[in-house]
Amino acid sequence: MDLRNLTSASNSVLFMDLKYIIKEQALPFLPAKSLFRFLAVCRDWKLHISTPSFHHNQSLCCRGISGLFCQAPENPPVFVPIHPESCGVPDPSLSFLPEPVEIRASSNGVLCCQGRNEDKYYYLCNPVTKQWKKLPKPTASHGSKPALGLIFEPSLLNSVPEYKLICAFQSTDFDDATEFEIYSSKNNSWNVSDAICFGDEKADLGSGVHVNGVVYWPVESDHILCFDLTKDRSQFQRSITDGIDCLLGTFDGRLCKVYISGNEVRVRVSKVLNIPTITWDESDMWEDTLELDSDVTFIPLDDDYIDTRAVAVSRDILVAVSENEFYCYDFEDQKTNTLSRPEPAESESDYEICVPYVNSLVSL
């Protein structure tokens, strides 16, 4: 055989193998904005990226925080990307929804919003594809600022996306008690749980975080409220942050909490996959993973006149906001970037709502 023909054949096989690897193994890990650009590469890629099976695969693979949806009072939402060149949404204000909304929660590419009109309907949407779904009216009153936890966990075993939305709300039947109502996309209905959690005071809850079947809410009174979806029971757990508000998130599949104390940012990670909902000694349940000061992060922390708060955390990054400036600290590179900050549309109010978002093609 001619050596030139053999070399040409080998290069052809190598090219085909590389082409297959990129299309099948690399593309699903890319954020949606990049994938939309790659639709123009060739007809084969366009057809491949447009299939529902690829959308499902991408929602399984692309799980990193792409940016944050933020909102100032009486203003439409804005999007703050971590990497603007690869992550973004076509309509950050979500004007494709049937009414003005407030951002409430997110989970792996799906946003939960609440309408501002009198009925206060909930909507689930994908900001990339502009798909949306209006949820039925809850049976209970969730209050003016519902404490919601959105649960969407893509599964290899189920190509049909399933969602749950859980709201912790102040009981109308018992003083100083919290009840729970759960929406399931499987039957498209709400159900009030039998679980009732009694506390020492009315809980002012933050956004809920889902980890392995349990939803956690930070409480301003330095507690954490837990609700176990499998066992249908709940409990307040005492924190040891001395009354300092904390942000809850996930770190390597475990619950973590971030709080700012003086000129330090502390990240504590649960030693187990799930914090039990009975009783526990917090000193045995958490480990200090990171302690960062302002000299390391270059985030303004030590000024008594500046309010700095953590708004997103993952295995890779920590995002904090100070005077409407967003700072992203990379744990691996140990570098801080200042993120682009869109101005509020009508005022200079603070971004009171900041929800982490994953740039996913997931279908509703």
* Residue 213 and residue 250 in contact, taking contact as beta carbons nearer than 8 Å: no
H/E stretch holding 163 reads none
Domains with residue ranges and CATH for the chain: 3-52 (no CATH), 62-357 (2.120.10.80)
H/E stretch holding 7 reads helix 3-21
Which residue in 138, 219, 139, 211 sits closest to 178, CA to CA?
Answer: 219
Q: What are phi and psi of 33, to 5 degrees?
A: -60, -45
pLDDT (0 to 100) of residue 282 = 55
Query: Alpha helices of 257-325 — where are they, by DSSP H?
Result: 282-285, 294-297
Residue 189 to residue 137: CA distance in whole angstroms: 9
Which residue in 86, 91, 127, 89 sits closest to 110, CA to CA?
Answer: 127
pLDDT (0 to 100) of residue 19 = 74
Query: Alpha helices of 271-339 — where are they, by DSSP H?
Result: 282-285, 294-297
Any idea which residue has 């929406």 for tokens?
A: 183
Any idea which residue has 């084969």 for tokens?
A: 44
Upper half-sphere CA count for residue 125 (Cβ side, 13 Å)? 28
pLDDT (0 to 100) of residue 67 = 92
Q: How far is CA 83 from CA 10, 15, 246, 359, in A?
A: 38, 30, 26, 11
Residue 238 to residue 245: CA distance in whole angstroms: 13
- What does the DSSP 8-state code read for residue 265? E
Which residue in 65, 59, 67 sits closest to 314, CA to CA?
Answer: 65
Residue 176 to residue 196: CA distance in whole angstroms: 10
Q: For every one of its 364 residues, what pLDDT tens digit does the chain have, with 9 covering 90 and above?
A: 454 454 454 455 445 577 777 777 888 888 888 888 888 888 888 888 888 888 888 888 888 899 999 998 888 999 999 988 888 899 999 999 999 999 999 999 999 999 999 999 999 999 999 999 999 999 999 988 899 999 998 877 777 788 999 999 988 888 788 899 999 999 999 999 998 888 755 556 778 899 888 999 888 766 788 899 988 888 877 665 554 668 888 888 888 888 887 778 888 888 766 665 444 555 567 777 778 777 777 887 766 656 788 899 988 889 988 888 899 999 888 888 999 876 654 556 788 889 999 999 888 8
Any idea which residue has 């650009």 for tokens?
A: 37
Which residue in 79, 107, 300 sits closest to 309, CA to CA?
Answer: 300
Residue 298 to residue 325: CA distance in whole angstroms: 12
Q: Which residues pair with 237 in a beta bridge?
A: 224
pTM over 0.75: yes
Residue 203 to residue 181: CA distance in whole angstroms: 16
